[in-house]
Structure 1
Amino acid sequence: MPIRPLESYDVSAERGFLCKYEAGEVTLPSAFAEARDVALRLPQILPTGRTRTLLLDKLPDTIRQGDVDALSDAEARMAMVHYSFMVQAYVWGDAEAPSVLPRQLARPISWLADRLGQQPLLPYSGYVLDNWARFDAAGPIDLDNVYMIQNFASGLDEAWFVLVHVAIEAAAGEALAAFGPVIEAVETGDAGTVQHRLEAMAGVWAKINAIFDRMPEQCDPYIYFERVRPYIHGWKDNPALPDGIIYEGVSAHDGQPVAFRGQTGSQSSIVPAMDALLGVGHAADPMRTYLDELHIYRPPHHRAFIDDVREASGLRDFVRRAGSRGLIDAYNGLTQAVADFRTRHLEYAASYINRQSRMAAGNDTDVGTGGTPFMKYLKKHRDETRARMLQLA
């Protein structure tokens, strides 16, 4: 069966999975104004070494669940951006990680997460998808026209790291828009349309890979590891917080510590959506379990898109049955483009993380921000993608 129209999944050809509203124009109600001001001052607060003291001193404990319930979708997502950055700064901004997240942060972030169907810490959507704006609102969403709204340290390397992901997400929209037509063409047996669409999608992935190639231009590996990465870790499978964190005043946890995985590019929905369309599967092992677990960290509409594509796509079997050289080459070309992206991700993980020599508390060179041995994970999934190439019978 066909998938639903793209916009019903909060996805568009122009923006991909990026927020559909102009985030830079979103204002928050007065109840959230003080918290937003504090969040935007994180680049001034973090260097003091007194992050927790200053956050508790400046943050009001006046937000109520009704205030969160009254927010529009855009307002709730913008508030989530600011609160999730403050939560991360509170946990990782001082020398040792705390065992308790105070109610001034714990309750609003939990209410916002429940409202948005996500987890109560910094997600990829808050770090990237909802955290950008354009200098020229009529201009393109590319690297010479976007800026980061909320920062931790506010350095060039931090902004470039995030904005490269923003540009990739925007570029992917054109490929995502072809999913429905490809699935429909498979159902009607229109091999010519399938081949044409796959070839066009491979062209989009060439653009995506070219954007990804630009990461080293203004994001240095050492600066990333020391000044960007420390703030985006989670507290599941993290030795600095072996028991997780108590969310003070959140009745759902009954005063018990809870653990959540940190923000990671693997929470992006682009590659999992491509896997779903292409019929790329991953072997059942601990890394597959981790991949499945990451799914709940994506926005609900994006999870539904991936699930529906996986259910609807018969692309791989169709290409195998049709058996023409042109169609197989188109399928393999697109699959290779995704594998190339995974190869570059693996290379960056090695240079930006694994080869760095210093290992501070919670910032392990062998463990990703999501809490897993990422080098093994990335290599495995790259190899499994390559293994899905088809041969002409």
Structure 2
Amino acid sequence: MTECLRTRGFLPCEDPETELRVGASFAMLDELGAELPSLLLEADCRAYLAGRQIPDWPYETVPNRLLGQARLYYLRLAFLASGYINQIGQPACHLLPANIARPLARICHLLHRPPILSYDGYALYNWKRFDRDLPVALGNIDTLQNFVHLYDEHWFILVHVEIEAIAANILDAIIALEESDGFADEARVNAALSQIAETLDRLLVVLKRIPEKMSDELYFSRFRPYIGMFHDVEYEGVDLPRQDHRGETGAQSSIMPTLIGFMKIPHQPNKLTRHLIDMRQYMPESHRRWVEYAETLPDVKPLAEPEVWNRVLEGMAAFREVHYHWAIKYIARRSNDPHGTGGTPYLKWLKYLIDETRAHMK
């Protein structure tokens, strides 16, 4: 697992599975996934989806050898669920039919996560490489599943995938520092911080590419609604109370929480920081554990040279500032709702995090 983190970051250790192979009946889910963008344009989409016979996960657990298959199965079902509940142009919906609800709830229980499409299903597991000898990078990757027939949505997802791939260098720096017992070694601490700062510079370059192939009008009106929250949703045939779940959001990525923990940034406890903690339940279980582990590592600030320490913090703040700018461009200018897909008052939240990050400088 450690070696995987160092080379792949929070992306899967192996490239995601592209088709379901746990039984002949599962091919229909791949077909349904390919048809979903067209189905969602039809008024009778919900009736059609509710009438499909979806196969159950055939095991009592998720064997490690089938983890990639389980993730793809979750991805397909979670896209169907979010498409069904949040279908654009149709009345509000608060009932997920049993044929989708039961298998989704079961696989999500086995994967230790809430039964809704989250950042892992939308981005971390949702890509393939054209050439496996080339990096996981824009130009060499595409999505496995989408809500709409627009490359804008592909681009939105794939930018996040490349960011996650590059961020492996952050985890590599932290793990190398730990394995070398370098937390008491000034030279090693500053080398690790330099590597992290350089990686943050690369992440910023990729994040700035969002507008190249993503229209703000199309994002807001055509596919953002599909990654929205579930409010008071009944999972038919499942022994659960009606559910509220946060929608897919980049706040469910483990990169920044890991850096916050490693850098020991003292965000003051309030409603927004409680929301950050809540977002962890939507992360894969192993990622949650890694974030918690990063928080237990020794504080390197006393040994850090001010210049390199501040470079890391400025890199984090600059990344959030670009995110803040895109939130204004893609959401705030088109909506009076101050909340993002994850339910946060996103502009206030991002500004708060930026200010407290810079306040931690030496």
- Letter of the aligned partner of 1:341 in structure 2? F
For 1:6, the equivalent position in structure 2 comes to 2
Q: Tell me, yes or no, if the aligned pair for 1:63 and 1:108 is still in contact at 8 Å.
A: yes
Q: Tell me, yes or no, if the aligned pair for 2:57 and 2:107 is still in contact at 8 Å.
A: no
For 1:238, the equivalent position in structure 2 comes to none
For 2:69, the equivalent position in structure 1 comes to 75
Q: Structure 2 matches for 1:301-316, cutoff 5 A?
A: 301-316=286-301
1:329 aligns with 2:307: yes
CA offset at residue 25 of structure 1? 4.4
Q: Secondary structure at the match of 1:169?
A: helix
Comparing 348-357 and 160-169, the one that deviates more: 348-357
Alignment partner for residue 370 of structure 1, among 330, 342, 350?
342
- After superposition, the C-alpha distances for 1:81-121 in whole angstroms (9 at most, x for unaligned) are 11110000000115222121111111111111111111101
- Letter of the aligned partner of 1:198 in structure 2? L
- After superposition, the C-alpha distances for 1:245-274 in whole angstroms (9 at most, x for unaligned) are 1111112x1xx3111111100000001111
Alignment partner for residue 149 of structure 1, among 144, 147, 165?
144
Alignment TM-score, normalising by the size of structure 2: 0.94
For 1:360, the equivalent position in structure 2 comes to none
Q: Tell me, yes or no, if the aligned pair for 1:164 and 1:212 is still in contact at 8 Å.
A: yes
1:344 aligns with 2:344: no
For 1:380, the equivalent position in structure 2 comes to 352
- After superposition, the C-alpha distances for 1:40-62 in whole angstroms (9 at most, x for unaligned) are 211110111322012123x2054
Structure 2 CA distance, aligned partners of 1:72 and 1:184? 30
Structure 1 CA distance, aligned partners of 2:19 and 2:119? 19
Q: Secondary structure at the match of 1:259?
A: strand
Structure 1 residues 286 and 184: alpha-carbon distance in aligned structure 2, compared to 1, 3 A threshold: same
Q: Tell me, yes or no, if the aligned pair for 2:177 and 2:183 is still in contact at 8 Å.
A: no
For 1:324, the equivalent position in structure 2 comes to none
- Letter of the aligned partner of 2:177 in structure 1? V
Q: Structure 2 matches for 1:293-308, cutoff 5 A?
A: 293-308=278-293
Q: Secondary structure at the match of 1:177?
A: helix
Structure 1 residues 289 and 65: alpha-carbon distance in aligned structure 2, compared to 1, 3 A threshold: farther
Structure 1: runs of 5 or more not aligned: 236-240, 320-326, 358-363
Alignment partner for residue 159 of structure 2, among 160, 164, 167?
164
Q: Tell me, yes or no, if the aligned pair for 1:24 and 1:134 is still in contact at 8 Å.
A: no
- Letter of the aligned partner of 1:306 in structure 2? V
Structure 2 CA distance, aligned partners of 1:101 and 1:161? 27
Sequence identity (%): 31
- After superposition, the C-alpha distances for 1:304-355 in whole angstroms (9 at most, x for unaligned) are 1110110113212443xxxxxxx12111111110110011111111110000
For 1:28, the equivalent position in structure 2 comes to 21
For 2:333, the equivalent position in structure 1 comes to 355
Q: Tell me, yes or no, if the aligned pair for 1:110 and 1:250 is still in contact at 8 Å.
A: yes
Structure 1 residues 68 and 181: alpha-carbon distance in aligned structure 2, compared to 1, 3 A threshold: closer
Structure 2 CA distance, aligned partners of 1:38 and 1:67? 24
Structure 2: runs of 5 or more not aligned: none
1:100 aligns with 2:95: yes
1:51 aligns with 2:66: no
- Letter of the aligned partner of 1:190 in structure 2? D
Q: Structure 2 matches for 1:177-326, cutoff 5 A?
A: 177-183=172-178, 189-235=184-230, 241=231, 244-251=232-239, 253=240, 256-319=241-304
Comparing 123-132 and 188-197, the one that deviates more: 188-197
For 2:117, the equivalent position in structure 1 comes to 122
Comparing 76-85 and 28-37, the one that deviates more: 28-37
Superposition misfits of 4+ residues, deviation over 6 angstroms: none
Q: Tell me, yes or no, if the aligned pair for 2:267 and 2:356 is still in contact at 8 Å.
A: yes
Q: Tell me, yes or no, if the aligned pair for 1:84 and 1:109 is still in contact at 8 Å.
A: yes
CA offset at residue 24 of structure 1? 4.6
Structure 1 CA distance, aligned partners of 2:128 and 2:340? 28
